[in-house]
Structure 1
Amino acid sequence: MDTIRSDRIKAGLQKSFRSGKSAKASIICYGYRVNSKGKLQINPAEATHVRYIFERFAAGDSLGKISDALFLKDIPSPSGKEVWSKETISKILKNEKYIGDVVLGKTQTNDGLQIKVVDPDSQILMERHHPAIISKELFESVQHERKQRSSSRVR
């Protein structure tokens, strides 16, 4: 794709992000479904599992221990597998959608590869976009705990 066309596409995405009308804001993640009006709504059964994951991590359980517990409870992963991967659980714990917010522009595609955007000024935060599954306090507690655990591994 030529550079000019690529720049136009990126500018168009940014414009839709800023207007708050981006379809990307309603991309489904585990714990949600889309209603007939195209809005995210809570999937009650999956939301229970999301809450469990956040609460167990906040209580000190490791990703592996959470995965084992979900397996023992006979709860299949979002992809239908018997065992939840640690990566899947980690992604759930990082996802701000569970507090009802959406961050647009977290990634971009360069030469067919999706890369994380490191410039927060190019990202758009849509607060209270949809119903929250967990409290902001629990989410922030988990983010603090994740940071603490990762910094203790680096030492």
Structure 2
Amino acid sequence: MIALTLALLSEPQLVQVGVGRFAIYADTATIRREAPDAAWIRSLQVAEDGFTVGDAAYVGGWSRWAFDCGARTADRLDFASVKSDLTEGPSTPDAAPPYEAAPGSDELELLLKACVGAPDPAGLSLEQAIREGQAALAD
């Protein structure tokens, strides 16, 4: 847990894994693996420019994920929103049980990054990922 906490405090290395309703980025700086088949990663969900809830503007949110690489199951552990001024949180736990990462899903792409990927020192910063993600969503 200490390694994951330290990784969360470091600069993100964000790599896009999908664009649909949101642009999804894997933070490869947070990849953690344990034998035999457990892996963890943090992801960023980028919302379209101008996304609001009530009177607050948001750019997206962070989630922490746990995966069983052999069984190909995904477990979203929590979600913390990111406002347009980059204020985060609070984190809300996700109590749903693990589920199969379906072919073509963002969860499967995150699982593949966490289970077989590697940290990417050329990944994007938070601000770069937000700009790139919002541009992709505008297309």
Larger radius of gyration: 1
State TM-score, norm by structure 2: 0.26
Answer 1 or 2: higher relative contact order, Cα 8 Å, separation at least 6. 2
